[in-house]
Amino acid sequence: MKVFGKPMTPNAADLRRRIGYIPTNPQFPRGMTPITYLDYMGRLFGLPADVRKPRLASLIRAVDLLPVSGEPIAGFSNGMTARLAVAASLINEPELLIWDEPTHGLDPEARRSMLELIKSLSQEKTLILSSHNLSDIDEVCNHAAVLSRGQLIFCGSLQDLKGRMRRNHFELDLEGDQKSITKAVQAIRGISDFRHIEIRQRRLELLLQDSAANTSALANAFMILADNKVNLVSIRSVGQQTEHAFLDLVEKEESRGFARAYQSEAA
């Protein structure tokens, strides 16, 4: 494997100095403080004191740990530990960041702060994130690689991954009197392209047949709504697109694997 155009070997210390890494559930010496730990990491990277000291001070402020910079790490919450891991991964001013499950175990506020930090850092550095939380990937990434049982089954833009998804489940928010909406829904039920139609108050859920073209089916539904003087407030595809695309991709890959195994056994 090559990193920065050079082979990554066990002795490639010059390449590792250009990388910042955060593992899942990062652990730190519990008796150390953020200051002593970051100073220790800086010395491991060979940073002289005149570079190390101001850099760790700047990082402690950046990750909002200044009030506890002299406190033992043992008493830190998950969010504080995650912020310290971020600072440690940046102490060597890396060009490439590899972060494994950076939002794992964080509460909603800490998770939001982490995602905003990732967005900020991505403007200057290359980040590789590993995550099972696909809504995070959907928010901060522009390319994705999908692994299934240790095999790479997709590598490309996030847009290409979403493009593999079947767009057949929609929710429509409607505006109009209930009698007109009921009449319109009854007419839409007559369109064979839909296999499930449900109305809750003024929210219409439409599930298309797998073989149906969503544009023509929805166009027919819109015409019926217009004929009945029912306005469309909003329309959205149901569910997290990236998650649906991922599950669909893995399901297809596993089906091919089962088929290959069956064929080999039969042979």
The reply to whether 162 and 199 lie within a common domain is yes
In this structure, is residue 30 part of a structural domain?
yes
Could you give the CA distance from residue 2 to residue 7 in angstroms, rounded to a whole number? Answer: 4
| Domain stops at, among 141, 173, 205 | 141
Confidence band of 267 (pLDDT split at 50, 70, 90): very low
The reply to whether 8 and 123 lie within a common domain is yes
| pLDDT of 263 above 60 | no
| Domain stops at, among 106, 141, 176 | 141
| pLDDT of 264 above 70 | no
Among the ranges given (12-26, 35-49, 215-229, 243-257), the one the predictor scored with the smallest mean pLDDT: 243-257
Confidence band of 163 (pLDDT split at 50, 70, 90): low
| pLDDT of 261 above 60 | no
| pLDDT of 265 above 60 | no
Q: What's the one-letter identity of residue 157? A: S
In this structure, is residue 153 part of a structural domain?
no
Could you give the CA distance from residue 113 to residue 130 in angstroms, rounded to a whole number? Answer: 18
In this structure, is residue 151 part of a structural domain?
no
| Domain stops at, among 79, 106, 141 | 141
In this structure, is residue 170 part of a structural domain?
yes
Query: pLDDT, tens digit, for every residue of 192-209?
Result: 999 899 998 899 999 888
The reply to whether 131 and 167 lie within a common domain is no
- Name 21's bridge partners: 98
Confidence band of 234 (pLDDT split at 50, 70, 90): very high
The reply to whether 167 and 92 lie within a common domain is no
How confident is the prediction for the chain on average, in pLDDT? Answer: 87
In this structure, is residue 128 part of a structural domain?
yes
Confidence band of 11 (pLDDT split at 50, 70, 90): confident
Query: pLDDT, tens digit, for every residue of 17-38?
Result: 899 999 988 999 989 999 999 9
Structural domain harbouring 212: 158-267
The reply to whether 125 and 167 lie within a common domain is no
Could you give the CA distance from residue 170 to residue 247 in angstroms, rounded to a whole number? Answer: 18
In this structure, is residue 32 part of a structural domain?
yes
CATH number at residue 212: 3.30.70.100
User: Which among 18, 249, 257, 253 is positioned nearest to 156, based on CA atoms?
Assistant: 249
The reply to whether 135 and 167 lie within a common domain is no
CATH number at residue 118: 3.40.50.300
The reply to whether 101 and 8 lie within a common domain is yes
Burial (0-12, 13-18, 19+ Cβ within 10 Å), 210: exposed
The reply to whether 164 and 137 lie within a common domain is no
State how many domains the chain has: 2
What average pLDDT score do residues 156-163 get?
80
| pLDDT of 154 above 90 | no
Query: pLDDT, tens digit, for every residue of 53-112?
Result: 999 999 999 999 999 999 999 999 999 999 999 999 999 999 999 999 999 888 888 899
Q: Which two tokens stand for residue 109?
A: 């506020």
Confidence band of 260 (pLDDT split at 50, 70, 90): very low
pLDDT at res. 256: 66
Confidence band of 259 (pLDDT split at 50, 70, 90): very low
DSSP summary character for residue 47: -
In this structure, is residue 173 part of a structural domain?
yes
In this structure, is residue 152 part of a structural domain?
no
The reply to whether 164 and 261 lie within a common domain is yes
